[in-house]
Structure formats: structure tokens, C-alpha cells
């Protein structure tokens, strides 16, 4: 079978999407937002996942020629990924296969032990948006319209992602984001609520190149040299941080009751920057559940993710909110039924703690901790009386 036939056969397995996972960039040129911290705490607070361990050394199993339409490309195969790319940027095409293996190790370890996917996942990285748009039209048919509004992003469905080159740093960030969607679509028996699915996806975006630890953040983001492993650290996410801080200081944050009842598609339809704010707030919400309140909720978050993966989440939610409410909530993937089940609080009761957590992120001086991949909440200076 020739490569073009293989492409058509594989991509047309994609169904219509229930949710387009969009990642929008442009609020701040990453690196220009950063300042070199002067703190004595110089060591990054990094992920303790296998992706960060020296013993984890994934490899490209095969690398072959491939063709999309008339454009030559490459197809790479690793243990868990098949990556088709027409990208002419070697910093992307050569690094992405191993990057995704590190990302998967991060997905399955950083928030508790989660299962590996049952089969290989396909990712398409096109050299430019027109190539991506033509593929989107072929895949989505009459439903392609909303997805073609995406200017800098992509989508994933049933373990397959369709993305395009938007620059080295941003392409890796969106691959990590969509990689989480690929993973849960392929592996989880019960879908997560949208706010948590997108929240964990943004949590997974933050990373640095391990070879450049200790150098300036601008140099770290611009690496184009020899292959080096990524080191995932959820706090190192300038895009989400800057959006969150601006909204917090302008009193534009959505209360938690609204956040868990909304989808990003709702906000894209409205227009403006509300969708960007949604992603920033669910990033902060996932960090709050993982690290807020002195870490007391992290175990519950881990149990939630494990239950979604093994199928136990539906039964647990039903036992707390009732069968009818559970069915409605899990089908719509909105609302606070999952919060009530796993954290014993509804969205209204949790809002105060969440907003205090966000306020700590937005305090002056937080930038230096984000530049190190560390929590500005944990490292915030103590409050002083006026």
C-alpha cells in the first residue's frame, strides 16, 4: 500500500468530534515575558515522573519516508506513537517522537499511576495551516466549519491528533496538550468533565528542555540544538500565567460555578478572549486540586483520574448525586457533580479557596517563581499588616 493510500485509510477513521480541544497562542511571546530570577532557590521544582528520570530513554523505532498529497514527509514510530509530519523544521520533526514518549510517561505518573494506552496513537503535524485545513475538511466534511476557525491550534479524536507547525515552542506545547486528549480518548473508560479534561491538558503543557537547566528562560525556549529530554513542570506555562494574572487584576475571572458549567466552544462562539481565559482558569483549577490547601486534595484528584480510567467514576458519582443527576452530568460533562463526589464540596463552596489560590498566583513577584517552574503560591511571601 502506498503512503498516500495509508494516509487516507488512517485519517478517515476519525469521527465527528464532540469537543474540539483548541489551544490559542499570542498573548505573550514566550521568553519576552520572563525575567531571570535572582532567588537563592535555584533548583527547579520538576516532575518526579519517569519522563524526568535519567533511566527513561525512549527511542524512535523506525523512521520512513511518507507523502501527503504532493508534499514529502516522514513517519516516525515509537512504542506508543506513530507520527506523520510534513514539517520542514528539523527541530520539530526530529524531536517530537521522543518528546511524546516523555509526555506519555508524564501523563501516566505525575497525577497518580494511570494505565498505558492499549495501542499506538497517531499524530499528524503539518508544515503549514493550509495543509492542516485541507486535512480538516477531508476528515470533518460538512462539520469542518468550527474547526477551521482555529488559527493556532488543532484537534484530537479517538486517539488521533491533527496539528500544524506554529513554531518550535508552541508546537511542542500543543502536542503535549492534545497528547493528553489522545491518551484519555484511547484509555479512559469514563470521560472526564470538560473542565477537568481541559484543565489537565493545560497542566501537561508546561515543560523545559533538560539540557538547558540553569540558563535563561528565553534560551531555554529557543533551543534548536542536539536532542535533549524535556522536563515537565506544570507551573512553567507563561501563556496561561499571563492570561490569568491580567484577568485577576482586572476582576474578570469567572466564578467556579460558571467555570465548571462552561465549555471552551461556548466561549469561542461568543468571541473575544474568553476562551483563552477559560483555559487559564482551568489550568489554575487543576493546580489548585493538585497542590492547593497544602496538598490535601491531591490524593482525591489521583483517585478521580484512576476511577475515570478504570470505569469506576460513574458508580461513585451516582452514589453521591443519584442516578439521574449522574447520568445527566456525565453525559453533558459539565457541572460540579464530580467535585461533590471526590472533594465533598460543590463549586460554590470551593470557590473561595480557588479564588484565594488564583490571587496568590497573581501577586507581585510571582513571575520569578513561574520562570523557575515553581509554585508562586507555595513561595509567596507572608502577608504583612499595613
Burial 96-122 (b: 16+ CB within 10 A, else e): bbbbbbbbbbbbbbbbeebeebeeebb
Per-residue H/E/C for 256-287: HHHHCCCCHHHHHHHCCCHHHHHHHHHHHHHH
CA distance 165 to 287: 28
Question: Against a cut of 0.95, is the pTM above it?
Answer: no
CA distance 183 to 201: 10
Please give the pLDDT value at position 139: 77
* CA end-to-end span of the chain: 74
- Which tens digits make up the pLDDT trace of 289-337? 999 999 999 999 999 999 999 999 999 999 999 999 999 999 999 999 9
Mean pLDDT score across all residues of the chain: 82
- Which tens digits make up the pLDDT trace of 156-189? 877 889 999 999 999 999 999 999 999 999 999 9
Amino acid at each position: 500500500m502506498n503512503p498516500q493510500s495509508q494516509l487516507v485509510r488512517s485519517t478517515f477513521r476519525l469521527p465527528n468530534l464532540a469537543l474540539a480541544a483548541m489551544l490559542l497562542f499570542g498573548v505573550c511571546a514566550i521568553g519576552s515575558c520572563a525575567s531571570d530570577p535572582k532567588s537563592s532557590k535555584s533548583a527547579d521544582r520538576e516532575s518526579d515522573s519517569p519522563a524526568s528520570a535519567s533511566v527513561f530513554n525512549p527511542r524512535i523505532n523506525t523512521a520512513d519516508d511518507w507523502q501527503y498529497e504532493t508534499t514529502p514527509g516522514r513517519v516516525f514510530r515509537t512504542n506508543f506513537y506513530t507520527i506523520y509530519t510534513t514539517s520542514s523544521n528539523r527541530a520539530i520533526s526530529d524531536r517530537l517522537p521522543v518528546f511524546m514518549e516523555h509526555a506519555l510517561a508524564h501523563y501516566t505518573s505525575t497525577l497518580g499511576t494511570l494505565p498505558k494506552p492499549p495501542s499506538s496513537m497517531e499524530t499528524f503535524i503539518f508544515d503549514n495551516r493550509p495543509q492542516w485545513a485541507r486535512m480538516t475538511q477531508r476528515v470533518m466534511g460538512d462539520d469542518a466549519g468550527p474547526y477551521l476557525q482555529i488559527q493556532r491550534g488543532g484537534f484530537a479524536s479517538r486517539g488521533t491528533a491533527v496539528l500544524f507547525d506554529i513554531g518550535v515552542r508552541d508546537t511542542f506545547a500543543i502536542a503535549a496538550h492534545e497528547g493528553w486528549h489522545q491518551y484519555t480518548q484511547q484509555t479512559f473508560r469514563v470521560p472526564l468533565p470538560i473542565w477537568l479534561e481541559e484543565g489537565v491538558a493545560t497542566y501537561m503543557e508546561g515543560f523545559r528542555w533538560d539540557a538547558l537547566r540553569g540558563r535563561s528562560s528565553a534560551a531555554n525556549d529557543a533551543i534548536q540544538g542536539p536532542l535533549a529530554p524535556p522536563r515537565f513542570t506544570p507551573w512553567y506555562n507563561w501563556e496561561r500565567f499571563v492570561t490569568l494574572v491580567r484577568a485577576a487584576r482586572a476582576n474578570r475571572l469567572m466564578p467556579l460555578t460558571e467555570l465548571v458549567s462552561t465549555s471552551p466552544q461556548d466561549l469561542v462562539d461568543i468571541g473575544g478572549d474568553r476562551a483563552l481565559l477559560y483555559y487559564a482558569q482551568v489550568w489554575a483549577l487543576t493546580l489548585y486540586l493538585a497542590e492547593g490547601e497544602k496538598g490535601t486534595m491531591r490524593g482525591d484528584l489521583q483517585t478521580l483520574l484512576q476511577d475515570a480510567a478504570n470505569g469506576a467514576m460513574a458508580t461513585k458519582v451516582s452514589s453521591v448525586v443519584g442516578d439521574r443527576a449522574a447520568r445527566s452530568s456525565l453525559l453533558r460533562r459539565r457541572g460540579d457533580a464530580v467535585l461533590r463526589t471526590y472533594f465533598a464540596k460543590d463549586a460554590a463552596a470551593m470557590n473561595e479557596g480557588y479564588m484565594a489560590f488564583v490571587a496568590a498566583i497573581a501577586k507581585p513577584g510571582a513571575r520569578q517563581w513561574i520562570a523557575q517552574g515553581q509554585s508562586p503560591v507555595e513561595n509567596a511571601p507572608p502577608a504583612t499588616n499595613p
